[in-house]
Amino acid sequence: MRICHADSTSRPKRWLWLCTLGTLLVALSSCSRPDQDDPQIARVRNLTATVRTVTDAGLTLDENATPQHVVYAVLQAIKDDVRAGNDQDARAKAIDRQLALCAPEEIDLRFARPRSIESREEAIYRVVRHWGAVVSYYVDDLDASLEAMSADMRVSTLSRGRTNSAGTSELRQVILTLADPQAPDDSKRRARLRIDLAKEADRWRVCHIGYEPRPVVKAPVTTSTGDSGNS
């Protein structure tokens, strides 16, 4: 009877394959998971771990600050972010101001990816750092005073989402109309900037910035009143 022995040369190959696989998994893990020692991530964690009172744009943004106050302040930070251009230090300071005025819990709830892909801090930073790009085209319209800009804001309550113990919605939506810099007098080209806010730690904070679609204005329908009788 012939006895077959395992090929001893296959063992090193098997170990080599296992080692290669392990190295690949470690590499993928390090790419997909945030480095908790990264200074940027640490900074974001410090700014968003708890919602606290901050002072910005000459306003104390505490429990008594209105949604209009918070929107004005965050738009001033966004304006400074956009106008910083390639000045990375100035941009970082402006983004830090936006992070201090964001609603981290609501952003995490709305936009966060699975933790195996990115951390809470990375998800929040990913959302907030794009606010400047969203508003940049209309940035010159953000030079208005608090009074003038607040007068143009339309605040409404969002019925869906979080509520407090009394059942009252803690989400607000602010609509601000911005003029097209290439056609400031053309009302048809104005944009409706939408800012969503959530109340966290009894303070209004921003969780979303985008645009509402322009309303479609239908042309009036006219009917002919020509003679219907016989010619």
CATH of the domain at 112: 3.10.450
Which candidate, 109, 135, 105, 133, places its Cα nearest to that of 195? Answer: 135
Q: Give the burial string for 137-174 (b: 16+ CB within 10 Å, else e).
A: ebbebbeeeeeebbeebeeeeeeeeeeeeeeeebbbbb
The better pLDDT of the pair 154, 158 is held by: 154
Query: In terms of Cα–Cα distance, which of 115, 118, 122 is closest to 48?
Result: 122
Question: Is residue 6 included in any domain, yes or no?
Answer: no
- Total tally of structural domains belonging to the chain: 1
Residue pair 131/98 in contact (Cβ under 8 Å)? The answer is yes
CB 106 within 8 Å of CB 128: no
171-178 and 191-200 as β-strands: parallel, antiparallel, unpaired?
A: antiparallel
Residue 161 confidence (pLDDT) above 90? no
Q: Is 160 a domain residue?
A: yes
Q: Is residue 18 a part of any domain in this protein?
A: no
Predicted local confidence at residue 1, as pLDDT: 55
Q: Are 211 and 195 in contact (CB under 8 A)?
A: no
Residue 124 falls within a domain, yes or no? yes
pLDDT band at 47 (very low <50, low <70, confident <90, very high): confident
Tell me the C-alpha distance between 125 and 140, whole Å.
25
Flag whether 227 is in a domain. no
**What pLDDT does residue 15 have?**
56
Name the DSSP class of 219.
P
Q: Which among 100, 79, 75 has a CA at the least distance from the CA of 203? A: 100
Distance (Å, whole) CA 5 – CA 8 = 8
Residue 12 lies in a domain: no
Which structural domain range is residue 65 located in? 37-212
Name the pTM for this structure.
Answer: 0.74
Mean pLDDT over each residue of the chain, to the nearest integer: 81
- Specify if 163 maps to a domain: yes
Q: What is the rounded CA–CA span in Å between residue 193 and residue 176?
A: 5
* 25 domain-assigned: no
Express each pLDDT in 169-219 by its tens digit: 689 999 999 999 998 888 888 999 999 999 999 999 999 999 998 665 555
Q: Give per-residue pLDDT as tens, 93-134.
A: 999 999 999 999 999 888 866 666 678 888 899 899 999 999
First and final C-alpha spacing in the chain:
115
| 61 contacts 54 by C-beta, under 8 angstroms | yes
Question: In degrees, to the nearest 5, what angle opens at C-alpha 193 toward C-alphas 97 and 139?
Answer: 60
